[in-house]
Structure 1
Amino acid sequence: MDAPQERKNLILGHSDVPAPEPIGEGPPDIQLAGCRNVTPVLNRVGDKWSMLIVMVLSAGPRRFNELKRVIDGISQRMLTLSLRGLERDGLVSRTVTPTIPPRVDYELTELGRSLREPVRALGEWSIAHIACIRAAQARYDAAHDPE
């Protein structure tokens, strides 16, 4: 089984990265500010666990332990953090039913449901191109092997 993957965030403004070329209309500083505003959203929707959660919740509401069972390799802590982030971003809603013990259900909001199609398209693209990607990785690794 693969080792757990760290969460990686996109950060604009790295010193080795040239400033982006202007895209669309408006002064470049306004466009760059728009890119900076989008970065947190891209971090969320580009996160491995968040996308898996969205895919699972596409089928309907789930309880925490159901999500944990279905999403192979996710820790309880990472599931909690990912669900909180998705809830904060308005993609997932959390409903607590006052029973003993309390029942907590998670489901996609309308905004979260609008993310299903792009996530599905990305998944389908990945499946269709995995052989090409693995071949490219093998070529790269062979060319850059220190031996």
Structure 2
Amino acid sequence: MASEITMGLAAFKSMMDIVGGMFALKSETEKNTAVLELQRRIFEAQSLYSTAVSRISELEQKVVSMETWACEKERYELKAVAAGRFAYVLKADMQGSEEPHQICASCYQKGVKSILQSKRTEVGRYRMLFCPDCNTELNLTVAV
């Protein structure tokens, strides 16, 4: 980001140098060449400005996303859902009208809220929780 600003300022300085030097030019050819160079530098500066604006927008979106996740992740706590198997569980005081649920510990660490889904396997009839995003499976119990 700082390099784009530095390059933009350098482009602006060179444009000002060209404009300042245009007064000393005598022939039309020299003036036309200087105008073309100035136009090229203006286009270059506009391109750098556009890139910087785009990057700023990306960074602002990233900050908003990080702030949103910081608030959201405070609603969960790490708990054992079975022996040796962990998930982030919605805190009781944060539930409100939302159904109780667990989110994937692996996805949580990556800043993603992925609600674990329940399923039973046909082989052995194990009850499991699985993450639809990263395919993590937590074997919970043996069905009776």
Same fold (TM over 0.5): no
The normalised TM-score by structure 2 is: 0.31
TM-score by length of 1: 0.31
Q: Which of the pair has more CA radius of gyration?
A: 2
Larger strand percent? 2
